[in-house]
């Protein structure tokens, strides 16, 4: 198994005929887990010559991009991480330029970067530096120059870092292959060396990538380039392409724990009692004698010891729980000792699930329900800020402790944006949640999004207030477009006439079948449950069809039957 990315890198930069070099380039290739989770990053920049701080701008952009990208959460996708970093860099450069007497001579630079993660290259581009791909005998430009030629002598940048607080970044991703080469050049090189000559010079220098970069800059200078000259060239020697057998072997490095009984000791934890058992896992209350506290041990079911998808989700559950830091998300604890078996250590919560709470409070006051939903929303937000989707939000996976603190738990279905980008032979699916809480688009096979989690949140809010589901039990059964089209929202006021019409309007928007018509963030729903939204304030009272669609259609059928009987009677008499 090739456990990590292997590549070679060559680079060279020269001021050329100019008195100073205003180009800058860099690369950061980490090792170990960072290389797997974040990849390797490469960048090139060309400071705008009219700026007195051109070199500073280019150097600042490259160095800070490389450093700050790797400081973003491991759970973030490459695109999310890079775009957040570039937006912050752009704001800083614009701010520095605004302090100068002549803003046009501010800190402005072109910028192109490539992040190579797993088997995918992610490109980010602003300006007229270039990234090329060399595959077999083909040299292909992957970026488009953002400049305008006013004349044969003068060119103006349309886009660059530091020009405008609003940053428009070109992004693309593409699969890579072993043997692929990626070339970075500033305009002082590619404007004076034609593609055929670039390809010839790279080929002529074989595996000496530094020599190839020097040859390209020399060719540009010989061709009369009046600019700085910078090249960076990388070549992929191996890709992290694990096979199914090796991945399964990695997932099963820790064996399944034995069946646990009260009084047993597992890696220092004393088992007190079994809390819960399901076909997928077991929960045990245990004592951590070193910390002097009670904890919960979650163990996997032996029914899935040969299921790599289950084992990977179980491993990811711990990964998620250690990274999401919120008082409204269950905490996963670092084991006190080195583990000999596969299990998680969770904080112990004294209380009940939301499902149990709802059974005891079938018609909660609106203010009490709002408090619970506000806390759930904060927990969901903690996941989404880390590019994570819970994908199994339901009352059974929400806990209320005896102090009234609400926490989201059970991370086995969580999709981690940054981890999902890593190639794996383990087949994954977005259809993991409970059907009545799963968004319609996911039921149809579309990828889950934050709006899918918000649909589940909306169903929970509706059920918390009414004790019912917004589409009855039909949603989980209707997958086809035609079946979905027949679904109708049942007004929450049919079960709770005391609910304000604007609360019903907020609930309806939260669970709309079309994801584009739902709320975009969870706090919007909470706000509309606390404050009357004018869009919903004038809603009419629900019709019989909205309040009770089954009863409505039964009534229509009964009236139709009666009409037919009357017609038959009249025909018989006539």
CATH number at residue 478: 1.10.510.10
Q: What is the mean pLDDT of residues 246-269?
A: 86
pLDDT of residue 540 exceeding 60: no
Would you say residue 556 lies in a domain?
Answer: no
Average pLDDT taken over every residue of the chain = 89
pLDDT of 245 reads: 66
Q: Which of 42 and 423 is assigned the larger pLDDT?
A: 42
- Over residues 167-202, the pLDDT tens digits come to 999 999 999 999 999 999 999 999 999 999 999 999
Q: From CA 320, how far away is CA 333, in angstroms rounded?
A: 11
- Same-domain pairing of 260 and 332: yes
Can you spell out the DSSP letters for 360-416? H-SS--HHHHHHHHHHHHHHHHHHHTTTEE----SGGGEEEETT--EEE---TT-EE
Would you say residue 562 lies in a domain?
Answer: no
Binning pLDDT at 50, 70 and 90, where does residue 290 land?
A: confident
Which residue, 292, 322, 347, sits at the end of a domain? Answer: 347
Q: Which residues contact 370 (CB under 8 A, 6 or more apart)?
A: 526, 529, 530
Number of domains comprising the chain = 3
Would you say residue 89 lies in a domain?
Answer: yes
- Same-domain pairing of 376 and 275: no
pLDDT of 271 reads: 97
- Same-domain pairing of 397 and 308: no
Query: Which region holds residue 162: left if phi is over 0, alpha if psi is between -120 and 50, else beta?
Result: left
Would you say residue 553 lies in a domain?
Answer: no
- Same-domain pairing of 180 and 317: no
- Same-domain pairing of 101 and 199: yes
Q: From CA 363, how far away is CA 180, in angstroms rounded?
A: 63
Range of the domain at 101: 6-241
- Same-domain pairing of 81 and 177: yes
- Same-domain pairing of 133 and 249: no
- Same-domain pairing of 337 and 440: no
Of the CA atoms within 13 Å of residue 240, those in its CB half-sphere come to: 20
Binning pLDDT at 50, 70 and 90, where does residue 225 land?
A: very high
**Terminal-to-terminal C-alpha distance of the chain:** 88
CATH number for the domain including 65? 3.60.40.10
Q: What is the mean pLDDT of residues 447-462?
A: 96
Assess contact for 127 and 185: CB atoms under 8 A. no
Q: From CA 445, how far away is CA 512, in angstroms rounded?
A: 17
Q: Which of 385 and 574 is assigned the larger pLDDT?
A: 385
Q: Pick from 425, 421, 428: which is nearest to 116 by CA? A: 421
**Catalytic: which of 14, 392, 430, 453?**
392
pLDDT of 48 reads: 84
pLDDT of 137 reads: 85
pLDDT of 41 reads: 98
Which residue, 329, 347, 365, sits at the end of a domain? Answer: 347
DSSP designation for 119: T
Other Cβ atoms within 10 Å of 16 Cβ, number: 20
Taking CA atoms, 369 is separated from 124, 260, 329, in Å, by 45, 38, 18
pLDDT of residue 537 exceeding 80: no
How many whole angstroms from its chain centre is CA 131?
Answer: 26
DSSP designation for 26: E
Active site residue 392: yes
Would you say residue 568 lies in a domain?
Answer: no
pLDDT of 1 reads: 42
- Over residues 380-394, the pLDDT tens digits come to 999 999 999 999 999
Percent of the chain with pLDDT over 70: 87
pLDDT of residue 548 exceeding 60: no
- Same-domain pairing of 151 and 137: yes
Phi, psi of 107 (to 5 degrees): -90, 95
The structure's pTM equals 0.85
- Same-domain pairing of 316 and 407: no
pLDDT of 2 reads: 47
Would you say residue 220 lies in a domain?
Answer: yes
Would you say residue 558 lies in a domain?
Answer: no
- Over residues 96-116, the pLDDT tens digits come to 877 665 555 678 999 999 999
For the record, the structure tokens of 196 come out as 């055929």
In this structure, of 50-59, 135-144, 229-238, the range with the lowest mean pLDDT score is 50-59
Which residue, 318, 347, 376, sits at the end of a domain? Answer: 347
Per-residue exposure over 101-138, b if at least 16 CB sit within 10 Å of its own CB, e if not: eeeeebbbbbbbbbbbbbbbbbbbbbbbbbbbbbeeee
- Same-domain pairing of 359 and 337: no
CATH number for the domain including 296? 3.30.200.20
Q: What is the mean pLDDT of residues 443-465?
A: 95
pLDDT of 365 reads: 94
Binning pLDDT at 50, 70 and 90, where does residue 364 land?
A: very high
For the record, the structure tokens of 320 come out as 């998620």
Rg (CA), the chain: 30
Q: Which residues contact 186 (CB under 8 A, 6 or more apart)?
A: 23, 44, 46, 110, 129, 227, 228, 229, 230
Q: Pick from 417, 406, 420: which is nearest to 450 by CA? A: 417
Which residue bears the tokens 């699916």?
Answer: 429
In this structure, of 151-165, 301-315, 457-471, the range with the lowest mean pLDDT score is 151-165
Dihedral over Cα of 74, 159, 103, 44: its sign: positive
Would you say residue 212 lies in a domain?
Answer: yes
- Same-domain pairing of 166 and 26: yes
Q: From CA 371, how far away is CA 368, in angstroms rounded?
A: 5
């Amino acid at each position: 198994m090739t456990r990590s990315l292997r590549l070679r890198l060559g680079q060279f930069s020269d001021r050329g005929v100019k008195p100073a070099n205003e180009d800058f380039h860099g690369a950061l290739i980490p090792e170990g887990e960072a290389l797997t989770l974040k990849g390797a990053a490469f960048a090139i920049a060309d400071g705008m010559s009219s700026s007195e701080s051109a070199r500073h701008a280019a150097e600042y952009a490259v160095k800070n991009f490389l450093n700050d990208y790797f400081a973003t959460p491991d759970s973030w996708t490459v695109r999310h991480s890079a775009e957040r970093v570039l937006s912050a860099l752009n704001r800083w450069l614009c701010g520095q330029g605004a302090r100068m007497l002549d803003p046009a001579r501010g800190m402005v630079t072109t910028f192109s970067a490539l992040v190579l993660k797993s088997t995918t290259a992610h490109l980010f581009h602003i300006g007229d530096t270039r990234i090329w791909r060399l595959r077999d005998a083909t040299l292909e430009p992957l970026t488009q120059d953002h400049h305008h030629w006013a004349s044969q002598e003068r060119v103006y940048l349309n886009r660059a870092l530091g020009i405008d607080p609003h940053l428009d970044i070109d992004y693309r991703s593409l699969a890579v292959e072993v043997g692929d080469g990626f070339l970075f050049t500033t305009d002082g090189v590619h404007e004076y060396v034609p593609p055929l000559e670039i390809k010839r010079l790279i080929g002529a220098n074989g595996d000496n990538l530094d020599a190839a970069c020097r040859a390209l800059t020399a060719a540009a200078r010989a061709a009369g380039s009046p600019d700085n000259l910078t090249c960076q060239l990388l070549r992929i020697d191996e890709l992290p392409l694990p096979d199914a057998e090796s991945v399964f072997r990695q997932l099963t490095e820790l064996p399944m724990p034995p069946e646990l009984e009260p009084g047993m000791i597992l890696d220092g934890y004393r088992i007190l009692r079994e809390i819960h058992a399901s076909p997928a896992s077991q929960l045990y209350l245990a004592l951590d004698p070193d910390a002097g506290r009670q904890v919960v041990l979650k163990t996997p079911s032996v029914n899935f010891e040969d299921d790599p998808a289950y084992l990977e989700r179980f491993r990811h559950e711990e990964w998620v729980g250690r990274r999401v830091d919120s008082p409204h998300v269950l905490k996963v604890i670092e084991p006190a000792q080195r583990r000999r078996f596969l299990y998680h250590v969770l904080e112990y919560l004294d209380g009940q699930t939301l499902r149990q709470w709802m059974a005891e409070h079938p018609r909660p006051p609106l203010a009490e329900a709002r408090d619970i939903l506000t806390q759930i929303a904060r927990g969901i937000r903690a996941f989404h800020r880390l590019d994570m989707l819970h994908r199994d939000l339901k009352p059974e996976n929400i806990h209320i402790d005896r102090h009234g603190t609400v926490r989201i738990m059970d991370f086995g279905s969580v999709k981690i944006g940054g981890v999902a980008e890593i190639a794996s032979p383990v087949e994954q699916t977005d259809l993991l949640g409970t059907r009545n809480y799963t968004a319609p688009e996911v039921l149809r096979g579309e990828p889950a999004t934050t709006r899918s989690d918000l649909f589940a949140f909306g169903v929970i809010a509706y059920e918390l207030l009414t004790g019912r589901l917004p589409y009855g039990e039909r949603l989980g059964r209707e997958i086809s477009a035609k079946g979905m089209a027949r679904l109708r929202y049942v007004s929450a006021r049919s079960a709770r006439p005391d609910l304000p019409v604007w609360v019903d309007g907020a609930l309806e928007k939260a669970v709309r079948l079309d994801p584009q018509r739902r709320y975009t963030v969870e706090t919007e729903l909470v706000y509309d449950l606390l404050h009357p939204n004018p869009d919903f304030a004038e809603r009419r009272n629900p019709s019989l069809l909205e309040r009770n669609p089954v009863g409505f259609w039964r009534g229509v059928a009964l009236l139709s039957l009666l009409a037919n009987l009357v017609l038959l009677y009249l025909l018989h008499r006539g």
